[in-house]
Structure 1
Amino acid sequence: MTNVVEIKVNLHCDECIRKILKAIKKIEDIETYDVDTQLNKVTVTGNVTDEQVIKVLQKVRKTAVRWDQANQTLFAN
């Protein structure tokens, strides 16, 4: 089953982006991935869950939350 996982993560430098891409590529069963540096958004499609992607990003010391949760937090304030 193909899922689309959208994650909010801080992409402030090229080194961060490199670490994130390296971590994402290790996830099994991904089909595609995209990193949007302007939105600080990582999108992964494949047989993956939000939790799997967040866990991988946390292993490389990145704070990551589901995209819909990040937007709710912004609008709640």
Structure 2
Amino acid sequence: MGALDHILDWFEVTPRRKKRKAMQTVEIKVKMDCDGCERRVRNAVCSMKGAKTVEVNRKQSRVTVTGYVDPNKVLKRVKNTGKRAEFWPYVPYNLVAYPYVAQAYDKKAPAGYVKNAVQALPSPNAPDEKFTTLFSDENPNACSIM
């Protein structure tokens, strides 16, 4: 054993390793009007440590960053370019049970997307819900004339 090993054993110092961030995809909504805006946002995000791929879709006002990054740091970096930015508030239309519920339908949403809002289920005593479940296969008391 060398002197350094002896000292390290005496102090019981173990090298600490940083936890690596998980690979994730961060989507941000940013209003971009021109090529200069797009280039400024792309350069700000591409220079981040851990960013693997950056996709900018100016038509949808969407920036997608994939890599070992912190979502809050990506949002902060985009905001530092002088643009108003927020996390991507939309989900695909086919993943929502009631896409036209209050606060979910947004005219500004890209085609095929609705706002990610809390989905309220209809009241089980509502008349339209009673007629819908009357002939349901999941209802054990349903009518079996078919």
Give your verdict on TM over 0.5. yes
The amino acid across from 1:62 in the alignment is K
Residues 30-61 of structure 1, C-alpha deviations (whole Å, 9 max, x = no match): 11110011110000001112211111011111
Q: 1:20 aligns with which of 25, 34, 41?
A: 41
Q: Which runs of 4+ in 1 moved over 2 A?
A: 71-76
- Give % identity: 34
The alignment yields a C-alpha RMSD, in angstroms, of 1.8
Deviation at residue 11 of structure 1 after TM alignment: 1.2
**Highest RCO, 1 vs 2 (Cα 8 Å, sep ≥ 6):** 1
Q: Which runs of 5+ in 2 are unaligned?
A: 1-21, 91-102, 107-114, 118-146
What is the alpha-carbon distance in structure 2 between the residues aligned to residue 58 and residue 37 of structure 1?
Answer: 16
Aligned pairs for 1:47-58 within 5 A: 47-58=68-79
Higher helix proportion: 1
**Structure 1 spans left out of the alignment, 5+ residues:** none
| Secondary structure in 1 matching 2:25 | strand
Which position in structure 1 is the counterpart of 2:56? 35
Q: Provide the rounded CA distance (Å) in 1 between the counterparts of 2:67 and 2:81.
A: 21
- In structure 2, the partner of 1:45 is 66
TM-score normalised to structure 2 length: 0.47
CA distance in 2, matches of 1:8, 1:50: 13
Pick the structure with more strand per residue: 1
- Aligned pairs, number: 74
